[in-house]
Chains A and B, each alone.
Chain A
């Protein structure tokens, strides 16, 4: 089955830029979606189809996807961005297609 690999943690100072990666075999050929999950809350979709934002998500959240790595970029990081972030793809490459999540990255705002 398809595997998505994320760093367990990323730390950044307020006002700086955070980059969270999501690695997968030829992930650039797939659409990658990103979710933000704050403690005790359900996940929220923050980026879809590699780089698009749902309504209500700040422009500070952006994404890119090429080769074997997709990246979620959060510009001008705020304390309220501290959360776990998950990447996700639809994998149709196997006999049993399904939805796959990465292991999650905890973003700490210093």
Chain B
């Protein structure tokens, strides 16, 4: 069974750096075709893709946020980490990690999400 779980702080202050961890099971990120991505959703708003890392350690970032994002993986720990610098209240959202696995370019399994509030 494939599962993903997000973890990180529920509250961060403006200008701080957010670090989120996605811990997954049921697949290996060293397997060809496997990818893990981060997607966020502000309250009441649409999904927004942020970043993705693939089995070959290639990394992709949202054009609008690429200067603030860093994605990395620890294959031995089955974890993917996202850092976002210079947090702002507009970054308040539920952050999801999701897998691309069985279907190319589609997110077939999602974590439950973690809510992050940016406030002083």
User: Interface of A with B (CB < 8 Å)?
Assistant: 1, 31, 33, 35, 37, 42-45, 48-49, 52, 54, 86, 88-90, 94, 96-104
| B111 interface residue per 8 A CB criterion | yes
Closest Cβ of chain B to A106, distance in Å, is 11
Interface residues on B, range: 20 to 34
Residues of A within 8 A of B107 (CB): 33, 35, 43, 45, 88, 99
Interchain pairs with CB closer than 8 A, number = 69
Q: Does the CB pair B103–A45 fall under 8 Å? A: yes
Closest Cβ of chain B to A109, distance in Å, is 20
Q: Mark B74-98, 1 if CB is under 8 A from A, else 0.
A: 0000000000000000000000101
Most chain B Cβ neighbours within 10 Å, of A43, A96, A99? A99
Q: Does the CB pair B48–A101 fall under 8 Å? A: yes
Q: Does the CB pair A100–B46 fall under 8 Å? A: no
Q: Does the CB pair B62–A33 fall under 8 Å? A: no
Q: Does the CB pair A49–B63 fall under 8 Å? A: no
Closest Cβ of chain A to B39, distance in Å, is 8
